[in-house]
A and B are shown apart, each in its own frame.
Chain A
């Protein structure tokens, strides 16, 4: 027993003997980021983390920190309050599920600024931000429509919420603009980040003769599935071109750093106001990744032409006539779907094969 006790003592001395680290105080603006997944998830959260690093690099007067795998629901509120107690003045919440926690805390701390990604509740000190990813979705749909030979495209989708439905719809509009025979098939994984389910969804599509897999989920698992089956994939969140140069046709990418630097600059200058930011290709917050090696010049040129038209405001993606996949005319000729309707979109366009549950 004595020997054992002395062993424990020795180990503790070794272990705790490492020098104490002190943290320097600073007068920088402290901004905290909450991620719903790991900061290096290869998708959504990593795209935000790259935005944070971009911000850190470009604005020397900002200090950043992040919490990863933050649970939606009760614990989130405590994490936000902890940051505020530690002197953080700006809180970025990067998942829809953080909305009510942020909204509650924002009420108690009117001089802390809250920016919530993808939600709809705002206060004087709480804004929302998101990107018009549907523009990039549409462009990637053009690529897919021109590249498919079987006319069967699989879309691995997380949740039947407006954001995801908008992605599938705009992607399909793009694909069918260049190839009216295309069908986009949807499988719901009911999870933002579940590599196993995403992979098995991709394999289901492959077994059904899909030759392109697109994904709205946050892991690159479906791209790996496509690579193994020697077919194509459309990436999401970040550019994985370096890893899959022959599998990826292109990717729809978030450039959150653009928004983060813009916001921190405004806060620094004292001009920040709570807004509902919804930037697009023009603002640079969303965009296409590199074209894959297998994408021919002709396709690239067409996509770039359409991209320029969107940026110049000449091309509206949700412009009528648009039919739902149940055959109903949803947007009349000459009209465009309003932003409000886009944000609460609950139907699929013609060409999508799949159901929106309970609708």
Chain B
């Protein structure tokens, strides 16, 4: 029979080979699916690549999609490292968007741009952090499972947003449609490169990755996070305050997701509405795993996923394939990359 044996240690070579091979296998299975519907898979993949990275414009859109992924993933890496499963980036993102939009919608006109953006940035971070600290406190003091609470808070955040959009924050000039007032130009993040949608949010994202890397590798807090992740009991005996660390790490993770929400409404959409692409909160969980919880790799995998997203919509146009195919290719690729991670920790053995 076939069984798994735990690896004692893993060679550097395998660490590279396994993900690469699994990606190739995923691509091949995706190709099979495309062949079944009668389209040339080579052309589809080529088109996907060209539409994600083939021109400055395409690449700029890939970066636009990668920006929220980087921000959220950086935070998730920190909490995942200590074995805390924050599934609530979706809701933290929405709360960040709501808190920052408050300033954009209600501040008197004439507030200077730096002040407005600082307030919105702080609002986004605080909104996201509050939404993450609630489950952290429940976890630390009453041992409530954070998977359940973070997940459920996502729905609450969505309904808070819906309530505001259909009620008090609805623009009276939008004919009853659920949109906020458009943000004044002082509340819009500056664009970094002309003729693209890349905005200051990308800089936030890059800085956040560096900061998270620094925290994990170079600070005492980061060291404690890693110890807790390895074994919470040991950590406790070593005199580490597990509860305090959980709350701080969750606050950072939530704040980054909230900032991602702020970047989206302030840098891209320029008003608040119900659809603010909060699904980045779920995609980031996958991005974090594909990065092996490594902040440097998170940069690469966010760009890869940003490319899949923006290129994916384009192959519908250039190849006339249905949207289902795009989703299929993406999920098969993901499944094989994430699935193959078992081979990093285990060997496949055959016994008669």
Contacts and interface: CB of A to CB of B under 8 A. Distances in A.
Nearest to B159: A190
A8 B41 CA distance: 15
Contact of A82 (B197, B313, B324): B313
Interface string A337-359: 00000011110000000000110
B271 A100 contact: yes
A245 interface: no
B27 to A, nearest CB: 9
Interface string A70-81: 111111011101
Contact of A120 (B163, B175, B197, B277): B175
B221 interface: no
Chain A CB within 10 Å, residue with most, of B41, B42, B268, B310: B42
Contacts of B178: 159, 161
Contacts of A65: 317, 320
Contacts of B316: 67-68, 79
Contacts of B264: 74
Nearest to B167: A358
A71 B178 CA distance: 16
Contacts of B25: 8
Contact of B322 (A20, A68, A358): A68
B26 to A, nearest CB: 12
B107 interface: no
B70 to A, nearest CB: 15
Given A12-B28, A67-B323, A20 B317 contact: no
B29 to A, nearest CB: 9
B314 A79 contact: yes
Contact of B40 (A19, A72, A75, A358): A19
Contact of B313 (A67, A73, A85): A67
A15 B35 contact: yes
B42 A20 contact: yes
A349 to B, nearest CB: 16
Nearest to A83: B317
Contacts of A16: 31, 40-42
Nearest to A17: B42
Contacts of B176: 160-162, 165, 344-346
Nearest to B51: A82
B175 A344 contact: yes
B65 interface: yes
B313 A190 contact: no
Nearest to B24: A8
B22 to A, nearest CB: 12
Interface in B311-352: 313-314, 316-318, 320, 322-324
A25 to B, nearest CB: 14
A250 to B, nearest CB: 28
B201 to A, nearest CB: 12
A197 B280 CA distance: 25
A75 B323 contact: no
A86 interface: yes
A302 interface: no
Contact of A75 (B31, B166, B277, B322): B277
Given A11-B28, A344-B176, A358-B166, A75 B310 contact: yes
Contact of B64 (A74, A162, A345): A74
A284 interface: no
A21 B43 contact: yes
A165 B175 CA distance: 12
A67 B35 CA distance: 21
Contact of B269 (A67, A70, A73, A357): A73
Interface of B: 24-25, 28, 31-32, 35, 39-43, 51, 57, 61, 64-65, 162-163, 166-168, 170, 174-178, 197, 264, 268-271, 273, 275-277, 309-310, 313-314, 316-318, 320, 322-324
Interface of A: 8, 11-12, 15-16, 18-21, 32, 38-39, 65, 67-75, 77-79, 81-83, 85-86, 96-97, 100, 120, 159-162, 165, 190, 343-346, 357-358
23 contacts: A11-B28, A15-B32, A20-B42, A32-B317, A65-B317, A67-B313, A67-B316, A67-B323, A68-B316, A68-B322, A71-B277, A73-B273, A74-B268, A78-B64, A82-B314, A96-B177, A100-B270, A159-B178, A161-B176, A190-B162, A344-B175, A345-B176, A357-B166
Given A86-B318, A344-B175, 10 more contacts: A38-B324, A70-B313, A72-B275, A73-B276, A75-B313, A159-B178, A165-B176, A358-B163, A358-B168, A358-B170
The 10 A-B residue pairs with the shortest CB-CB distance, nearest first, are A358-B167, A69-B323, A73-B275, A72-B275, A16-B42, A344-B175, A15-B31, A162-B176, A18-B40, A74-B268
